[in-house]
Amino acid sequence: MPVREMSEHECLQMLAAQHLGYLASARNNRPYIVPVHYAFEAAKIYGFSMPGRKTDALKDNPHACIHVDDLAHHDQWRSVLIEGKYTELPDTPEFHNERIYAWSLLQKHDLWWEPGIFKPNADGDVGAHTPLFYSISVDEISGR
C-alpha cells in the first residue's frame, strides 16, 4: 500500500475537521496518553479538563504530543502528529480573552464538556475541583 506524506495544509485541514485526539505527556520518564476532545483554530489546539494525571504531567513538563487520525478502512486512513507546548488558561485577566475564545470554540460541539468533567468514583461534586481550559501550540506537524 503506498503511503505518502501529507502537506502542512492537508494536516491543518484534517485537524480542523476532527475533534478527537490522543494527548501524550511525559513525566519522570513515564509516557502517558489519553483520548481528549479538542478544537483547533489559529495554530493552537484548545481543550478542557478536570485536574488529574495528564494536567499534572503537562504542568511539570509542558512538551505535549497529539495524535489525530481518520480511519475509514485498514488501507484508507490519515494520521497526523503534532508536537507543541501546553499552556493552562487560568481564570485571570491575562488569559481571560483566550479562555473565552477556547470556550467559544469547544462549545460548538454537543456535550463537549462531558468526558472531561466526569471521573469514575467522583463524588459528583464538580464544584470541588475547578475545571480548566488549556492550549497546545502546534510547533511541529506531520501527516501520512
Angle made by CA atoms 136, 142, 144, in degrees to the nearest 5: 135
The yes or no reply on residue 35 touching ligand FAD (CB under 6 A) is: yes
Helix (H), strand (E), coil (C) string for 26-41:
EECCEEEEEEEECEEE
The yes or no reply on residue 21 touching ligand FAD (CB under 6 A) is: no
Segment interacting with ligand FAD (CB under 6 A) among 5-13, 35-43, 59-67, 74-82: 35-43
Alpha carbon distances (Å) from 7 to 14, 16, 46, 53, 89: 11, 14, 22, 34, 30
Q: How far is the CB of 9 from ligand FAD (least distance, A)?
A: 26
By the 10 Å C-beta count (0-12 exposed, 13-18 middle, 19+ buried), 79 is classed as middle
Contact characters 47-86, ligand FAD, x per CB under 6 A: xxx--xxx--------------------------------
Number of residue whose CB is nearest ligand FAD: 52
The yes or no reply on residue 133 touching ligand FAD (CB under 6 A) is: no
Binding residues for ligand FAD (CB under 6 A):
20, 34-37, 47-49, 52-54, 115-116, 119
